Amino acid sequence: MITPELRRGFGILGGTFDPVHSGHISLAKAAMAAMPLTRVELIPAGEPWQKSGITPGIHRLNMLRIAVECEPLLRINTMELCRLGATYTIDTVRELRHEVGPAMPLVLILGMDQWTNLSTWKDWQRLTDYVHLAITTREGIDSTIPAKQEIWARPRYAQPEHVSLEASGLIVRFSMAPHLASATRIRNAVAKQPFAKAMQSVDGWLPVGVSRYIREHALYQYHDR
Ligand code: ATP
């Protein structure tokens, strides 16, 4: 049981959130349940270097605002949206560390797809200079990582409850109930069929307000209904 006085520092969950869905919210809540953090900050990417053609930041931000309205432990941090040019996680964690000072625990939360891809990120081996990494499983994603990443990670593995003892440097794993939601599948579903049918096919993956926002702003819809 993590009591409030044990909680220190905060988690960081970056993503395109195009759109935010209940898999993201479950992931953030699972992180709060597993680690002694005070909150999780969701950081929507400005111009992700590995993705193109994403929805304008203002829509992704508005959907996030709707999704966290009733989630007191989840906040939105717009630092990447406000940055011009390519977004690299290493720049974000360096900037955050500079803002909060050397002592506060910061935990970068990664889904399995991001963890297995980590060694393609800019300066990935420097990430733990600024933050801890916390990894969870994702339904349908293989957890194999490249050998050089495993060698780098091995001496850093620790238990999730230990992230409050140091500011950065550890790699922990935590569990979450499998959640099938994926933003790509939501966008594809909305693009291919009438909206009501699309919503049935994504099986409650969107908070109601977010699904209303998508409909009102005709996001992801490529033909008239
Ligand atoms: P896309 O399908 O466009 O790649 P996504 O659904 O993976 O989007 P992102 O915004 O890229 O969403 O994800 C942000 C973070 O949330 C990543 O770490 C990703 O692994 C994690 N994540 C997203 N959906 C889930 C899920 N259903 N279960 C666990 N982790 C998830």
DSSP labels, 137-149: --TT------HHH
For residue 16, give the ligand 1 atom closest to its CA. 10
38 within ligand 1 shell (Cβ under 6 A): no
Ligand 1: centre distance to CA 5 (Å): 30
CB atoms within 10 A of CB 48: 18
From residue 9, how far is each of 54, 99, 104, 122, 124 by CA, in Å?
31, 12, 5, 25, 22
Query: Does ligand 1 have an atom closer than 6 angstroms to the CB of 24?
Result: yes
User: Could you tell me if the CB of 167 is within 6 A of ligand 1?
Assistant: no
| Cβ neighbours for 214, distance < 8 A, ≥ 6 positions apart | 19, 63, 190, 195, 206, 220
Q: How far apart are the C-alpha atoms of 101 and 146, rounded to whole Å?
A: 32
Handedness of CA 144, 174, 89, 114 (dihedral sign): positive
Q: Order the strands of the 171-173 sheet from edge to edge.
A: 74-76, 40-44, 10-15, 106-110, 132-135, 171-173, 157-158
Ligand 1 contact, 181 CB (< 6 A): yes
Q: How far is the CA of 15 from the centre of ligand 1 (A)?
A: 7
Distance 37 CA to ligand 1 centre (A): 21
Mutate to test the pocket of ligand 1, among 22, 26, 27 (most ligand atoms within 8 A of CB): 27
Residue 203, Cα to own-chain centre: how many angstroms?
A: 21
Q: How many CA atoms lie within 13 A of 118 on its CB side?
A: 27
For each of the chain's 225 residues, which pLDDT tens digit applies? 888 888 999 999 999 999 999 999 999 999 999 999 999 999 999 866 666 688 999 999 999 999 999 999 999 999 999 987 778 999 999 999 999 999 999 999 999 989 999 999 999 999 999 999 999 987 777 888 999 999 999 999 999 999 999 999 999 999 999 898 999 999 999 999 988 899 999 878 999 999 999 999 999 986 544
Single out the residue of 131, 135, 107, 138 nearest to residue 21, CA to CA.
138
Q: How far is the CA of 173 from the centre of ligand 1 (A)?
A: 16
> What three-state secondary structure class fits 224?
coil
Question: Is the beta carbon of 15 within 6 A of some atom in ligand 1?
Answer: yes
Please list the residues that pair with 26 across neighbouring strands. Answer: none
CA dist., res. 132 & res. 116, Å (int):
16
70 Cα–ligand 1 center, Å: 21
